[in-house]
Structure 1
Amino acid sequence: MEGPAALRDDIDIEESDKRPMELGYKPEFRRDMSLFGVLGISFCAIGILTGSSAAFQAGLFSGGPLGLFWGWNICSLFMLLIALSQAEICSAYPTMGGLYFWVSKLKPDLPVLAYCTGWIYAIAMTLTGTSGNLTVALFIASLVEVASGRTLSRIEIVTIAWGINILSGVINTTGTKAIGRMSSFNIWWTLGGTFVLVITLLVKAPVKNSAQFVFTDFENFTGWGSEGFVAVYSLEGSETAGQVAEEAVRAEFLAPMAVVGSIIGSWIIGLAYMLALLFSVQSITSIQATSYAIPIAQLYYDAVGKHLTLMCLTVICLAQFMAAVTAFTASSRLCYALARDDAFPAKSAFMALNRHQAPYVGVWMSVFIGCVVSCAYIGSVIAFNAILSSAAIAVMLSYLQPIAIRVFWPSSLKARGPFHLGKWSWSINAISLAFTSFICVLFILPTASPVNKNNMNYAVVSVGGIVMIVTTTWIFWGRFRYKGPVLTHLRRASGSGIPDEKLA
């Protein structure tokens, strides 16, 4: 006999399935993910410890402490506005597919927009996972060098990256419960890890920098004369909660809360971590001249010594690994959503679920692409960095579509979910659109002067390649196959202002 808790769970699941069925989708996944799991997915995808570490070493050379501190806070504020814009749409459309599905419902008369958004975002998530797994390999290479003094070759680093890619695939193949537990664990790991890192740095650093250095010192190693040209940091990944909306209970509430909450949490944690790094950095020139695969390893070595550096890098490395795993979670779910709507080839294969409720074909396609792309690192670090930096731009390009539609067609959101911005909706979307457009342009500009073949920002080439691939598939395949969302559940939309649709 069922108890009150089981009955309540059944009611919650029934309510959770209601909105996707109204949108025309039959429930296919078990709703095994809790609020903590959904929040963890977004938090995990952002990867704040690793993201802050990468932002730190980039910003330190192009803006110094001054650029780091203000750049982090200003960009975090704008990313919060973007998250609010996304959360409002996510609450209205809590289904798998995220950005892609939002565009398909906001502008159904232009299916090319949804198709291109879905493909660009799928490529971006796959490359993000690839980048994350290679970063894990670079952290391991730094750990080896700190511990033994031995520098790993590029082939050895790529071999490690292959193993990390495959392990990411194995974890994703075990399904929603495993991913949910890992992402929940990541929240505690990040909170505890940040506390350990901050305390270790502040206690063990032999020289503490002054507040004047932390908040006013400007450094510029880029060669650009303008002091306004410094690195810009973004917190991408919070929208990943939308990719698992059909696997979470009451996703119309939980997913938007996770989108916004993960940005706020990451902003605060990242700021605390960054301040600890700034107060503890011993020598900027030492970090710039380091031989370690991850430059921030030099900061830790100078500040806390060999043994504590090994501990600190291990904390960040594991956080990075969990972030990379969730990128493949997002890419595989997006492939499922695209295939369900005839926007991806091999529909039956990409929609197939194993006994753990995992879309395993999308998972292992992401792993395969990750292994192939990682091989570029052997031939050219510059080429590999161009491919992977294009992932960040592709994500921002994907952000542009739904936000732009909300700005230029304010009535496009036919029905509001429980999370909405009210009278502030258009203003927040307009500011988000301006910032997203600015970032897309900034990310393809050269990062150093004078520009030469070694410091040229080749991301513009790789982004152009992604756009060309997506455009070509649309012209020769997509426009004949993709017409918009394909319903898997017959429903009536009488009185809703939405026309009846046919069951595919």
Structure 2
Amino acid sequence: MSDYSDLDKKQDMQVLHSMGYAQELERRMSRFSNFAVSFSIICILSGGINSLAQATSGAGGAAIGIGWPLGCFISLVFAVAMAQISSAYPTAGGLYHWGSILGNRFTGWLTAWFNLLGLVTVLGAINVGTYYFFMGSFGTPYFGLADTTLTRIIFLAVITGAQALVNHMGIGLTAKLTDFSGYLIFATSILLALVCLAAADSYDIARLFTFSNYSGEAGGNVWPATSGSWVFLLGLLLPIYTITGYDASAHTSEETVKAAESVPRGMVSSVLWSALFGYIMLCSFVLMIPNMDEAAKQGWNVFFWAMDTQVHPVIKDVLYLAVLVAQWLCGLATVTSVSRMIFAFSRDGGLPASKALAKVSPTYRTPVAAIWTGSILAVLFVWGSSLVSIGETPVYTIVVSCTVIFLFFSFAIPITLGLLAWGTSKWDKMGPWDLGEGMFKLFAVLSIIAMVLIFVLGIQPPNDWALYITVGFLALTALIWFGFEKRRFRGPPIGEEVARRQAEIAAAEKAVGQV
């Protein structure tokens, strides 16, 4: 990176040292790479396709034409508020670190657990989505594979293991692949849009703004029967659940050049570009659908049904292959994000076996133990939760319904603390990416309102168990904190502790060959 001078490198390290941390990870990610890692996790070709039935079997065309921009704006307000904080505190701990500095040890610890559980379970959910896309596109039609728990877990173990291996081998290789992923998502979404428009029988633009109610049997029971206005609100979960994971830009702060500037830009731009290209792609898909009533009846199979009905088999398979690769790269970027969260929380003693989990390989400059631990936990989560049911609903389905609630809670906690801490001794110095007090507080308040909406929508049937799991998790964290962690967990270094760590910082950097 020719524009990354020795002075820039020194400034990045000084910022990290001022927060009490060593430059153990290798700083090789460009501004585009930082954008690409979040853009890859958002991956409109993953959530935008695999969860499409939330719209087509809900409010119909209006769920895309009107609902997609609204839902994307909700995600954007979080990204903008988080960008302000990330510019001031560019560390791999991201949300956890912000929650600690702007609040206290407990708020940081709680943020860490919400974020960590959300990331581990979302990694499992992303790769399960890839499995079902593979089965629908190639597995069943070409290889005659049947969906069984054993097949699912073997597939999951293989692709997650490959993602972990790439991450193990260094951020350089990972960044190259996520950079490629960024271009692949751009190109494939536009190609898919063009194919859909070419395959459309007519261009009924009005359907994008026509409100329907396909809840209940009319929509393949994707949503229980409810009112038209309520099913439209539930459809907002499609863009909200798709446009998440942009905290990956923060988790890779310590591997990004000019992090205080690059990270906030990467976070916000990944949301904006995903929103735009997702809108073009999904609107084109809706226009291609031959009959909206028939599409709604397909439920979760709507994407394959429409493509099989309207698109030439060879073109369809080429698109399927590109989407499948993009979905694997989405999981790859998620392994990067979850491993950096485990690493950052562990170096402050937040997890069992923290010393091992915080260790960085001097050869690859990656947190190897954290990478494999996060990946194995994601596979074990899917395997274990698939075997147990509550009533007729698998525990996996119930927990995944909580995943995004947990992630957005981990976003909302530091944002709320930032709203309260602005201008106080806890936060009196802003980074180079500065909205100003008025704009930040506006986006912070909007984020809090959005969090309430997401929580209310996220606990509605068929995901009503999410309420009990969230409340139970909060009760469990309170018990663990007051029973054990309040006395043990010290949190990130603050104040005089930073000065006392300078010798440790120098030793840690020497151990990994940082100069």
Fold conserved (TM > 0.5)? Answer: yes
Distance change (3 Å), C-alpha of 1:297 and 1:224: same
Mapping of residues 37-186 of structure 1, within 5 Å: 37-107=33-103, 110-143=104-137, 144-147=139-142, 151-186=146-181
2:231 matched to which residue of 1?
Answer: 229
2:335 matched to which residue of 1?
Answer: 328
The answer (yes or no) to whether the contact 1:25–1:487 under 8 Å persists in 2 is no
Task: Compute the displacement of 1:260 (Å).
Answer: 0.7
CA distance in 2: counterparts of 1:174 and 1:314, whole angstroms: 25
1:495 matched to which residue of 2?
Answer: none
1:358 matched to which residue of 2?
Answer: 366
CA distance in 2: counterparts of 1:127 and 1:7, whole angstroms: 38
Matched, 1:28 2:24: yes
2:433 matched to which residue of 1?
Answer: 419
CA distance in 1: counterparts of 2:149 and 2:489, whole angstroms: 42
Task: Compute the displacement of 1:156 (Å).
Answer: 1.6
Task: Compute the displacement of 1:456 (Å).
Answer: 5.2
Task: Compute the displacement of 1:460 (Å).
Answer: 2.7
Task: Compute the displacement of 1:322 (Å).
Answer: 1.2
Deviation by residue 1:298-318 (Cα, 9 ceiling, x = unmatched) = 221122143333222222222
The answer (yes or no) to whether the contact 1:98–1:243 under 8 Å persists in 2 is yes
Task: Compute the displacement of 1:295 (Å).
Answer: 4.0
Structure 2 unmatched runs, 5+ = 216-223, 505-515
Deviation by residue 1:342-365 (Cα, 9 ceiling, x = unmatched) = 222212201112221111111111
Deviation by residue 1:264-292 (Cα, 9 ceiling, x = unmatched) = 1111111101111110112445445549x
CA distance in 1: counterparts of 2:471 and 2:328, whole angstroms: 28
CA distance in 2: counterparts of 1:399 and 1:95, whole angstroms: 15
Greater CA drift, 7-16 or 169-178: 7-16
Distance change (3 Å), C-alpha of 1:290 and 1:7: closer
Deviation by residue 1:202-247 (Cα, 9 ceiling, x = unmatched) = 1123x23411122224233241024233222311111210001011
Structural RMSD (CA): 2.5
Task: Compute the displacement of 1:490 (Å).
Answer: 7.3
Task: Compute the displacement of 1:389 (Å).
Answer: 2.1
The answer (yes or no) to whether the contact 1:42–1:238 under 8 Å persists in 2 is yes
Task: Compute the displacement of 1:30 (Å).
Answer: 1.7
Amino acid at match of 1:274: L
Matched, 1:483 2:474: no
Mapping of residues 381-396 of structure 1, within 5 Å: 382-396=394-408
Structure 1 unmatched runs, 5+ = 447-454, 493-499
Distance change (3 Å), C-alpha of 1:457 and 1:294: farther
SS at match of 2:147: coil
Amino acid at match of 1:224: T
Matched, 1:405 2:420: no
Matched, 1:215 2:199: no
1:187 matched to which residue of 2?
Answer: 182
Mapping of residues 287-298 of structure 1, within 5 Å: 287-290=295-298, 294-298=301-305
Distance change (3 Å), C-alpha of 1:404 and 1:356: same
The answer (yes or no) to whether the contact 1:490–1:503 under 8 Å persists in 2 is no
CA distance in 1: counterparts of 2:49 and 2:30, whole angstroms: 29
CA distance in 1: counterparts of 2:381 and 2:63, whole angstroms: 32
Matched, 1:428 2:443: yes
Amino acid at match of 1:363: I
CA distance in 1: counterparts of 2:143 and 2:170, whole angstroms: 38
CA distance in 2: counterparts of 1:177 and 1:488, whole angstroms: 34
Amino acid at match of 1:424: M
SS at match of 1:227: helix
Task: Compute the displacement of 1:256 (Å).
Answer: 0.5
1:449 matched to which residue of 2?
Answer: none
Greater CA drift, 352-361 or 472-481: 472-481
Distance change (3 Å), C-alpha of 1:137 and 1:359: same
Matched, 1:268 2:276: yes
CA distance in 2: counterparts of 1:91 and 1:418, whole angstroms: 6
Task: Compute the displacement of 1:410 (Å).
Answer: 3.2
Amino acid at match of 2:349: D
Matched, 1:438 2:453: yes
SS at match of 1:356: coil
CA distance in 1: counterparts of 2:328 and 2:4, whole angstroms: 35
Amino acid at match of 2:37: I
Amino acid at match of 1:320: Q
CA distance in 1: counterparts of 2:446 and 2:413, whole angstroms: 14
Q: 1:377 aligns with which of 372, 386, 396?
A: 386
The answer (yes or no) to whether the contact 1:158–1:378 under 8 Å persists in 2 is no
The answer (yes or no) to whether the contact 2:64–2:279 under 8 Å persists in 1 is no
The answer (yes or no) to whether the contact 2:24–2:360 under 8 Å persists in 1 is no
The answer (yes or no) to whether the contact 2:342–2:374 under 8 Å persists in 1 is no
Amino acid at match of 1:228: W
2:286 matched to which residue of 1?
Answer: 278
Aligned residues with identical type, % of pairs: 20
CA distance in 2: counterparts of 1:38 and 1:6, whole angstroms: 17
Q: TM-score, normalised by structure 2?
A: 0.87
Amino acid at match of 1:63: A
Distance change (3 Å), C-alpha of 1:360 and 1:502: closer
The answer (yes or no) to whether the contact 1:25–1:488 under 8 Å persists in 2 is no
CA distance in 2: counterparts of 1:77 and 1:6, whole angstroms: 35
The answer (yes or no) to whether the contact 1:487–1:503 under 8 Å persists in 2 is no
Greater CA drift, 482-491 or 428-437: 482-491
SS at match of 1:238: coil
